[in-house]
Amino acid sequence: MVCLGNICRSPLAEGILQHKADEAALNWTVDSAGTSNYHIGSPPHHLAQKVAKMHGIDISRQRGRQFKKEDMLVFDRIYVMDNAIYEEVKRTSRELWDAKKTELIMNELYPGEDIDVPDPWFGTEEGFHEVYEMLDMACEKIVNPNP
Ligand code: 4NP
């Protein structure tokens, strides 16, 4: 799960997908990162933590890290939160870039529509709830593609 800061959107996505995968007894390892170096070592935004907790998900132990091109090799799937992040992941992955394993996360729900998960960083708590609902639906589809 990749966003810009690794403190708002991708920590929520990591928490939601790991929670759903665990509930489904899938042996998945979910991780997240940011393309920027702004918040390396920081816990998730307090409103991301609050909204996750309201849904019974504890993301407080996550810490920000920066995406590195080797992540392209380590993980089977790379989900990015918006179109700008997609381009940045492509650029920084260089020779390791793999278009087949990289996807805009909302394309899981709305294939080919290239919808962004909006950045809630400058907004209010409402923005974090909106992001949570989008990611919850997308992660449900990832865990259970053919309900
Ligand atoms: P995120 O949100 O990419 O969803 O973690 C942001 C967090 C921090 C900043 C931008 C976006 N920032 O500019 O510090």
88 close to ligand 1 (CB < 6 Angstrom)? no
Selected catalytic residue, list 3, 82, 136, 139: 3
How many domains are contained in the chain?
1
Q: Edge-to-edge strand order for the sheet containing 33-34?
A: 33-34, 2-3, 78-80, 102-104
Q: Answer yes or no: is pLDDT of 116 > 90.
A: yes
Nearest CA to ligand 1 atom 12: 5
Selected catalytic residue, list 8, 9, 82, 136: 9
Taking the model in full, what pTM does it have? 0.98
8 A C-beta contact, residue 81 and residue 10: yes
Q: Which residues contact 147 (CB under 8 A, 6 or more apart)?
A: none
Q: Containing domain of residue 51, as a range? A: 2-143
Q: How far out from the chain centre does Cα 115 lie?
A: 14
Supply the CATH number for residue 39's domain. Answer: 3.40.50.2300
pLDDT tens readout for residues 42-60 = 999 999 999 999 999 999 9
pLDDT tens readout for residues 92-107 = 999 999 999 999 999 9
